[in-house]
Structure 1
Amino acid sequence: LNGVSKWILEALCQNQGSLEYRSLNAQLSKHFTVAEETMRTIFFDNNSFAIEEGKEKASGAEIISPDSIIVAKTSARLCQNKTCQGCDNFHLCRYYVCGGCTFKDKCKNSHDLRSPQNAKILEKCDLQGLTEKQIFQLLLQNDPFLLPEICAHYNKGDGESGSCKFNTTCTKLHMCLHFLKGDCTFGLVCKRYHAIGAQGMKLFKQYSNENITGLYKIYRNKLIIQDQKPRPAPGEYHSCVSESDREEICLFFVRRNCQYNERCVRVHWHLPYKWQMWEGESMTWKNMDDMENIEKAYCDPANAMSRTDEQIFRVLTLQRFVPLVDFIKMIYRGSPVRRLSTASSVSHPPHYILTTEWLWYWRDDGGAWVEYGQDGTGDAQASLSSQTLENIYLADKNGDIEFIAGSQKYKLYFKGGHGLQMYQQNLRYNTIREVRRRPRFVSAHDVEAKLSSSSSQSTVVTVPSNWDKKALPEIGYKACALHLTKIWRRIVTALFTPTMPQRRITILIIESVIKEDSNLPNGYKVVRKHLFHGTDKSLVEAICEQNFDWRMCGVHGTAYGKGSYFARDASYSHKFAAGPRSKVMFVALVLVGDYTKGQSQYVRPPAKGRGTALYDSCVDHVTDPSIFVIFEKHQIYPEYIIKYT
């Protein structure tokens, strides 16, 4: 653990093992100034802390909601044998840890936390700096053998003791599990105990009064640790990276040309899909075997479970049962499963290869799955297509959409209900049909064929009229030098030089960036500006290939929001053009649209008034803006590169 992590661990143990994030953060800020990325690494390290998400929303740059509970964790345990040699657990008296050992110095079990055996465990678990009281607090809420177990049978059934048959002789705690978790909705009318009665207190005879007083919180902490949901491995977290980015395969890497390399926030994988299973012991996502067959089964909407030729063969030959992936619950052998994929095909231009094409199906009366927009068996064709549904779904995954098929009106619900993931409902008869969204299957062979085929790159791309069409690359980009006689060189020079110190600047070359996805959106009366962005020379190729992404390109400030910064004046961007001799600056064509003054906590532009529409960008001064913050890549086109000394 680093210094900040140790301080947090001590603070939690000093406060009965847990604190609300707002309280912990207030105390922490008095001692440390911690970067957001460091905080994220600390709190999402499953070996040190568990988190119960609160109901409030995290605002601005906060990584956790203020009312979330942070609980201290440890892998340290008490040895149950106490006579073993070379053990990896503490050799301590259980009742000494619980605070109620009556034998004191005469106890046959150790009361020495600093003995050679225990000192080894303290060092291994990085607990040397904690006091004895703090370590015992950690053990109480982490070691499953120190607290009486909550009776599961008592919390089921309608009898006075639930379904527990032992009643007064039960060695487990009879208490409302939901009350201890803090989510019992029955309150005073709950038929389960919300307090430890005389019978329950017999289980705590050898516990100190202080620990008995704090039992509710100790149990609450223990349950939070037990209920902690799987999280991706720490290395998969990246500052200010959305969950969708972390679960999206890098399209450029699949196409063998991601220039960001290890800086890339997306997943690098050779296929446009990836199946993984959560491994609880190592707390990481592990790649699944037979990935292509799982994908092939998943692409068939009729399959609720994975099926492969090998599995069918085993069934026919009466061999042992082979576990299947449950596509509805997304589990395998009881563990969570996830499918990563490239971006949806509707979010990129048609000539982009290896995006994921999602198809939408509904189930007819005969049990057959029919794609939307296609003719069903005896049913009228729906007015929606897969492409239309995909666009609507990506805009609001929790929403719904009304449509017409023949003379009937339907509503399609994207968020599950009625035991289904998605469904459509007839608005007249209230009948319900299951809906499934599945990708079009692409094999590993298909991927190689698409990559090697020139036909996949032959789509005509519209480019500005001033470009040399012969220079247009088949894939990626090409930088073409602008000659001194070219009018565009004179225009770019005129944009660049006015605010730069004339005596010290020599333009070496101006290049025009020609890309396959060259056009910004048209059809709207949106304000466009040529703006400057200084950067390191090592990032030029990546920016030309994959556009600006501030999470990978570096930060030019956060005063007006967390996004890509562009300047009206070249002199401002000159500060960020790194290089001992020659420097590099982009002239980008930017859709600034409607803008408002930015704030440091913004991760996207704010809403316009009370409506749902957002501003397009943020600026330093609304009346005379010189700095523009852009949050979406599709608003930016890196049009020119200026290399100068």
Structure 2
Amino acid sequence: MSDKAASSDPTSVIVKDTEIYKYICPSLLPSCPTSSICPYKFHEVTPYKWEVIDTTTPLSQDDGKLLEKQYSNPDLNVGSLSKFSLDFTTMTITSSEDDSFPLGTKIMRKSTPTRNICPDEVNASGWTWYWQRDDIAVNWSEMEVKGGGNETCPFQYLEQNYQNCKSNGNPDDDFERKFTIFGAKRQEYRVSLDFNKMELSMAGDPEKYQVKRRPDTFNRFNWVTFGDLDPDGNFRFPITARELESYFISGAKNFSINKFSVNLDTREFIDARKMPAKMVRIRREAFKSGQLLELENSYPSTWYAMPKSRIFVTFNVPKFTQEFDMVEKKVYPLEIMSLRRIQNPASYKSYLRIKERMEWEASCVEGVTLEEKWLFHGTKDVNIKLICETNFDPTLSGSANGATHGRGTYFTNVVATARGYSNLTSSRVFLCRVLVGRKILGERGKFPPFALCGPVTMVDNLDNPTVFVNPRIHSFLPEYIVEFPPGR
């Protein structure tokens, strides 16, 4: 790596050859093809590594992961492990339950280069800046900076200035820089930020505001409309949160897509699909690690992190992903206009509990097996939000067709049939996981006979069923909302 010449442009991060040894190789193990001759000194399986200085006792990978999660949360000043507590400001152990980690021991955090240094590396480290605002309820708020000059990425403007101050070896009294930041309701503040003291001051305000810089390893974001759904249950947002985030990070202020005009300065977009055009407010939710629901082990790997306070969240599924391709094959030859994943932790756990129970019931009856099928359910848009929140109610389902094949929640393996029960103008259907047990012919308005043992599913035809009716609550899980072009 060649030296980058010093520049007056605050966005050009200066990196010297000798500094490359500070970083973990962003290719990570085992992907780095030239680890033996790679210019980076450190090679790890994660983009971070926590190490104890001057001791032969290493930290386990699980301990490092826990420290990284805690360090990603700006509300925490101290990290806690079963062995010791760590002051994140001084990076020293302040209390210890293990003689191998005496008080005052220094801890070091290594990481991959920042995104400013290696913008094209997927595993480059991201950093988020926070400040203590007095106009909102939470303690630490993400600092959003209005860039100056000709920089192309104002979202990373703070980090670029910080890196240059550190790289240039400035004296302690030359770490102050001036910025314009956004407060509540997008009002602008002209501030001075001291990178050495990590303090922020405003003109005419004697108070000093504390500033923190923390990694975004375990933090997530989402872009949502206010209310997420309109009164009719229609999704208003035209692109995925990740697509919008890429516009946001790139510094774009205004852009148009699919007859939507988006203004990131005012946090609104105009829906011009129908006249008169509608203006819809949007917001960016940046969730700190302490506010996130842990999804690593017990939930599907495709799920994104979500706030604990939300009953359910829906996310757009981008095209050309395995997840989108899976759904696309199930609805072929129909064209998918949009696909949204439903994440409802309570419904998901209830489904798993019922599945375990029904598997046990099936094992107790000879010749009965339990299948998990992907089936469709059509309904009007006005019902979509309630279904996402509470799952299907078997006592209400079947009302659209008079419970022809029995009482319970109706599903079909024919997507055209499900579309017949949706709105003509929007044409949205649910794609669900459904537990199918012993198949019996359903009778109009009736539940299956009580004497039957094991899980039971009522169908319209025993040889080639197209309609499946489940009377048991939570024996199904709405996973996706599939939207097709209007019409049949």
Query: Which category describes the TM-score, using the shorter chain as reference length?
Result: 0.3 to 0.5
TM-score (norm 2): 0.34
More RCO (CA 8 Å, sep 6+): 2
TM-score (norm 1): 0.26
In terms of fraction of residues, the more strand-rich structure is: 2
In terms of fraction of residues, the more helix-rich structure is: 1
